[in-house]
């Protein structure tokens, strides 16, 4: 998470200094752990040790989800989202080999129509 995004949400998080309740050790590290987990698609148990015990991270994640904190954060972060990274670069988009437009042939018995004898190539 970038500094700009962090500055937008840090005062909304539970566990911040001056907030009622226990002060969290490191909200930013926790959010980075959750983002890492979802970005890589790993199970919670495979979370790197630098983020702390995966059980505690998952427990905290679940509590925040129950309280609607993630929804609030998402709504704030999507208001001025930089979506440039979402754009598709056609130089890396590939079509499956079967999508190349092979001739369509129909079975005479099942379809009740003639066979489509379009040429296979334009050569």
Structure token pair of residue 55? 């059980």
- Residue 16, Cβ neighbours under 10 Å: how many? 13
Closest by Cα among 25, 29, 14 to 64: 14
Closest by Cα among 101, 105, 102 to 114: 105
Task: Tell me the per-residue pLDDT of 17-75, one tens digit each, with 9 for 90 and over.
Answer: 555 545 566 888 989 999 999 889 999 999 999 999 999 999 999 998 999 988 988 88
- Residue 21, Cβ neighbours under 10 Å: how many? 8
% helix / strand / coil in the chain, to the nearest 5? 55, 0, 45
Task: Tell me the per-residue pLDDT of 40-49, one tens digit each, with 9 for 90 and over.
Answer: 999 999 999 9
pTM above 0.75, yes or no: no
> Lowest mean pLDDT: which of 76-80, 92-96, 110-114, 116-120?
110-114
């Amino acid at each position: 998470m970038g500094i700009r995004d962090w500055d937008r949400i840090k005062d909304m998080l539970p566990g911040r200094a001056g907030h009622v309740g226990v002060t969290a050790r490191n909200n930013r590290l926790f959010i980075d752990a959750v983002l890492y987990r979802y970005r890589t698609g790993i199970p919670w148990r495979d979370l790197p040790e630098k983020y702390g015990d995966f059980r505690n991270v998952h427990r905290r994640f679940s509590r925040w989800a129950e309280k609607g904190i993630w929804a609030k954060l998402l709504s704030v972060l999507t208001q001025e989202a930089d979506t440039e990274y979402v754009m598709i670069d056609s130089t890396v988009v590939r079509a499956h080999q079967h999508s190349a437009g092979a001739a369509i042939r129909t079975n005479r018995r099942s379809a009740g129509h003639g066979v489509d004898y379009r040429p296979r190539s334009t050569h």
